[in-house]
Chain A
Amino acid sequence: MSKAKRLITLSLLTACVCTIVGCNQKVDLDNMVYKKKNIVIQNFEGLGVEWGTYEDPDKLSSGSWERSLKIMNRLNPQVTRCMLNYDWFITNFDDKGDNDKTNDTWEYNFSNKLMNNTIDVLRYCNDHDIDVAFGCWNVPGNVRADEYDMFEEVTSDIRWAKMTVDVIEYLVKFQGIRCIKYFVNSNEPNYTGQMYSSKNYNNTFEIWSKGVANVRKELDDRGFNDIKIVGGDTTGFEGTDEYFTGISKSKTLRKQVGDYGFHVYCPNMIIDTGDLAVRIKQMYKKTKKNDKDLGKVRMPHVWEAGLYDGKDAATDSNAYIANYSYGLRMADYTLQCAISGVSSIVYWDFDDGMHFIYKEDGTMTSKGWGMFSSLGTDSAAKQRLRPWYHSSVLLTNLMRRGSQIFDSGVNDPKYDKNFRSLGVIGPNKEYAGVVAVNRDAKAITKTFRIGEDFKDSGKIYVYIYNENELKIGEDGFVRENKVLEMSLKDQIELTIPNDTLVVLSSKEL
């Protein structure tokens, strides 16, 4: 029996001595070995969460803010997306009574609670080495009034670029914010909607591209050459395909954007069948044909990641958000993105307390997509950390910036729609780990081994995420279920219960 084979006894994982590993089949579906030949990302950029300006910071007590920061500390993201509205700051707008937009003037009032909150969020990111995609949801103006006359030209309006860089300049030069790495040239430009209910109704790829060119020039002219522009920030595969094709085919636009960024709210079926990875790979391949720098200079990023099923449009909440399955699917989502070459993923979203639905009667209710709610006015159940927070903590702490990501080589759903895994070697080879999901209704047994070198701790921290076995420590945060005195360089055999995420790590997460 090989030295690498050890007996693993776990109360929840059926352990056994594996005497015969492998067989004559061409593709080995039982033994996962993560080797150099299967590296899919050489320099992963990390995981994170949408953490934007709180639309009504008055609703936050000092206690809840402190709690939110503790929760953020444990999540330990390396990338976030922070969005705001310019409407919050623009004052004394004067269009001079003519149609000439070049002579319009306006001022900013940055001394308000919304900017204060934005700065609090960004300072935290500054202090914790978090890369931020910063942006503005839409052009300013009331959705029915369009008082700045911007809805026709949307972000190609010449004033948009100036407003954008004015705000960035204030944050960088006057507030010392250094974490803004990307600018989001409006949220989901391909999601146009209808006049009077959307400011974006007239947007097109051409309009958006013109806006990108204007912003790029303004950023460069004012010395912000290091802030990149998100290439798309589109939603859905079809709209994203249009933008990615447009960007990748344009030599000019390729230089103006910093990545290929998109949002995916994925139907459960697509995740459950492993089809998400198939789709992203197709899109990646198609884009790569036009842009050889995809994956080298311009990386693919998911800037909003969430699940589509369970969405209640009336409340803009997800009915499954507190289910364990949400965490399992989001982990599977992450895994499928990573093995498809997506270099960072930002989950939607951190805290229910950030965003609201505003009703005609003047009341507002929080949107339920978060990992918890910081609102004291929400029920105790909503304030609790939801299961998907804990599964996300495991992934954000394992899949760090600078990591190598390894495919198993057998993740294609043609082999097995219900099982997927990836290997991780952390930055500077400081640690290694494995992420595996069993989406089957029955337990499965597999072996795992990291086939490349890393600084071995001689321990394996085993984390199990399912409804029965997730272990929460006294501090309220996820803990390992077991520590094995062995190495991930060895071949370990695990029986993974049904509907379960397993994370193995040579360091404590």
Chain B
Amino acid sequence: MKNAKIIYGACITALLSIGALAGCKSKSGADKYDKNGRLILELKNVYFNNWEGADTYTETLNEMFQVAIRPTNYVYGNWDEMVNVAINGDNLTDVIHFNLKAYNFGSTYEKWVDGQIIKALPDDLSKWPHLQEMLSHVSNIDRLKYDGKLYCIPVMSDIVNYEKDFSNFTYVYRRDWAKQIDEMPVNVNNPNYIPIYKEGDVYTWEEFNRLLAAFKTHIKDITGTNQSIPLVDQPWAFPSVTNFYKEVPHCFVKDSNGKAINAFTSDEYMAGLEVAKNLASETIYSPDQGSFTEENDKAYQAYKGGFAGVLYDNFSLANYIQLREYMRKEPKLDDATALMKVKGPDGKFALEGTENWFSATMFNYDISEKKMNKILDIMDYLLSEEGTRLAIYGKEGYDYNIVNGEVELTEKGWEKGADGKYAPKDNGAKYLRYMATLGNDTKSFDPYTDMDAYNILNAWTEEMKQAKKDGLLRVVKEPADIDWMSTPTKNDKTEGLLADANVSASKYAMSYKGFDKNAYLDSFKNASWERVLKEINEKLGK
């Protein structure tokens, strides 16, 4: 921490000096007012894409809080870079939104606190009861505190069901194909045939593998295409089958003595990697899987193109709805996009653990107390019942009325387009609420929600929650003491180490020429891994 502070401080001093020499513009964060005397708030967020702040709901908030909200957005693909460029250029907006994670917080958040880039929240949050209540449920919030002060608002996924600690990284599959295969004459007429489709979509590890093998044999028969890929993973997740073996999702795991070791060379991970390698050699995975990228989107191309049987991705509601849109042409949409529940060799479901928040809202260190209070006022209001109604339904009396205690949408406010769906309508309150929560708690009553998709995904979530209670779900998590540990090398190198490790795992699983097990293990024998493990174990006292 101290070293970081000195280095960062030096950088800041240098930047400020250059700024002074160049006769810089006024400091970012300074109070400015619009022509109507309203305090200008410059708010930036990755979810503000396509929102200009020109809607009547933003105006309502502007009037209510006597502010002039000026939204801008980060581009998702350049999110981190845009934040860093703004910091380095002393060109920060009043509110910053950053993809804060355990593995980058030491190299960003900690440094920004030390470097006086971001401002602490007030100690006493009782003026903002809804915000205070939300923050009381944030997982691992103590890790984000320095000298008892919190320097960000973690963006909660769901402010009602905050106990969910697993991600939606899972499989979707062609249930319709599984049923079709079972109904093929060759199978119906075979007295020894065991159906591959499982009612309820719950598959043991053996059943999962049998289904993949059946897909390999029959996809071409079903679709008439000349391609067939039983299993595709999004590139960031490959090889997904290791999830059923590994103990942690990322780099560091503890051995039986509590000592940190490289998770990618642990026995458990290696066992999973061998399974992936076998699946690849049996062409259950596509021979091209190693060349899938976010840009070429080959995993989705294969699934929506009708020649992949199982797809692994992060099926957030938005992603699941998107997939269903892609598959809309299928006569049985639910069967073409069924969520699959796979139990690993240990008989348990396995899902990657997650915090109950994603990303964080931070405040420019230079903003005034008045400005910060205004922003907190707005956030608190938007978390209240009334504010939530503004964000989800719009204005009472125009967009909706309360009839017998129930919200009733009006035709004027909620008109449908030619396709019979509610047309998009900018609502600044909804966008601004993203500064505090992703709003998963509002999906069940948001008129824009695709309720078919929501109900399917919600049923899956509830089933997994129950499985967890029953001890049938293994939530794969990094040990919290390592995950949130800050050491110089860990802070600087973890992201790179993780990226390199994923490349090595992919190359090994796909049997890249010359990349045998030794080559795979050798790829981790370097100074960075050694140093980072040494630092972690020193802190662990191992």
Contacts and interface: CB of A to CB of B under 8 A. Distances in A.
B288 interface: no
Given A310-B423, A320-B423, A272 B412 contact: yes
A273 B412 CA distance: 11
A267 B56 contact: yes
B55 interface: yes
Contacts of B52: 236
Contact of A311 (B35, B411, B418, B424): B424
Given A272-B412, A325-B415, A381-B418, A319 B424 contact: yes
Contacts of A325: 415
A313 interface: yes
A42 interface: no
How many A residues touch the partner, as a band? Answer: 20 to 34
Contacts of B424: 310-313, 319
Given A272-B412, A325-B415, A236 B54 contact: yes
A485 B422 CA distance: 44
Contact of A319 (B34, B418, B426): B418
Contacts of A238: 34, 54
B318 to A, nearest CB: 14
Contacts of A236: 52, 54
Contact of A320 (B35, B413, B415): B415
A109 to B, nearest CB: 36
A308 B423 contact: no
A308 B425 CA distance: 8
Contact of B425 (A272, A309, A322): A309
Most buried by A among B50, B54, B399, B411: B54
A313 B50 contact: yes
Nearest to B399: A269
How many B residues touch the partner, as a band? Answer: 20 to 34
Interface in A277-319: 308-314, 318-319
A325 B418 CA distance: 11
A441 B417 CA distance: 19
Nearest to A191: B52
A447 interface: no
Contacts of A320: 415, 417, 423
A198 interface: no
A319 B420 CA distance: 10
B385 interface: no
Interface string B395-429: 10011000000000001110101110101111000
Most buried by A among B35, B413, B417: B417
Contacts of B56: 267, 269-270
A268 interface: yes
B398 A273 contact: yes
Nearest to A286: B35
Interface in B85-140: none
A292 B233 CA distance: 68
Nearest to B424: A312
A209 to B, nearest CB: 18
A153 interface: no
B230 to A, nearest CB: 28
Interface string B21-59: 000000000000011000000000000001010111000
Contacts of B72: 194
Given A236-B54, A310-B423, A312-B423, A323 B415 contact: yes
Contacts of B55: 267, 308
Contacts of A269: 56, 395, 398-399, 413
A241 interface: yes
A496 to B, nearest CB: 17
A479 to B, nearest CB: 24
B398 A322 contact: no
Contacts of B413: 268-269
A319 B412 contact: no
Nearest to A237: B54
A310 B398 contact: no
B353 to A, nearest CB: 33
Nearest to A313: B50
B398 A241 contact: no
A308 B54 contact: yes
B423 A272 contact: no
A23 B242 CA distance: 83
Interface string A441-463: 10000000000000000000000
Given A267-B55, A310-B417, A319 B395 contact: no
A320 B55 CA distance: 17
Contact of A309 (B50, B395, B418, B423): B423
Most buried by B among A273, A308, A309, A318: A309
A270 B55 CA distance: 10
A273 to B, nearest CB: 7
A272 B398 contact: yes
A310 B54 contact: no
Given A267-B56, A269-B56, A308-B426, A323 B417 contact: yes
A312 B399 CA distance: 19
Nearest to A309: B425
A269 B413 CA distance: 8
B50 A310 contact: no
B412 A268 contact: yes
Contacts of A318: 423
Nearest to A242: B35
Contacts of A322: 417-418
Nearest to A267: B56
A456 B54 CA distance: 45
A319 B419 contact: yes
Contacts of B34: 238
Interface string B437-448: 000000000000
Interface in A237-266: 238, 241, 265
A457 B447 CA distance: 52
A189 B454 CA distance: 42
A319 B398 contact: no
A352 to B, nearest CB: 13
A309 B426 CA distance: 7
Nearest to A314: B50
B423 A319 contact: yes
A241 B35 contact: yes
A330 to B, nearest CB: 14
A269 B393 CA distance: 13
Given A309-B415, A441-B411, 6 more contacts: A236-B52, A272-B398, A309-B425, A314-B50, A319-B421, A325-B415
30 contacts: A194-B72, A236-B52, A236-B54, A241-B35, A265-B54, A267-B56, A267-B426, A268-B412, A269-B395, A269-B398, A269-B399, A273-B398, A308-B54, A308-B426, A309-B415, A309-B423, A309-B426, A310-B417, A310-B423, A311-B424, A311-B426, A312-B424, A313-B424, A319-B417, A319-B418, A320-B415, A322-B418, A323-B415, A381-B418, A441-B411
Interface of A: 194, 236, 238, 241, 265, 267-270, 272-273, 308-314, 318-320, 322-323, 325, 381, 441
In the A-B complex, the 7 residue pairs with the smallest Cβ-Cβ separation, listed nearest first, are A319-B423, A319-B417, A313-B50, A310-B423, A322-B418, A309-B425, A267-B56
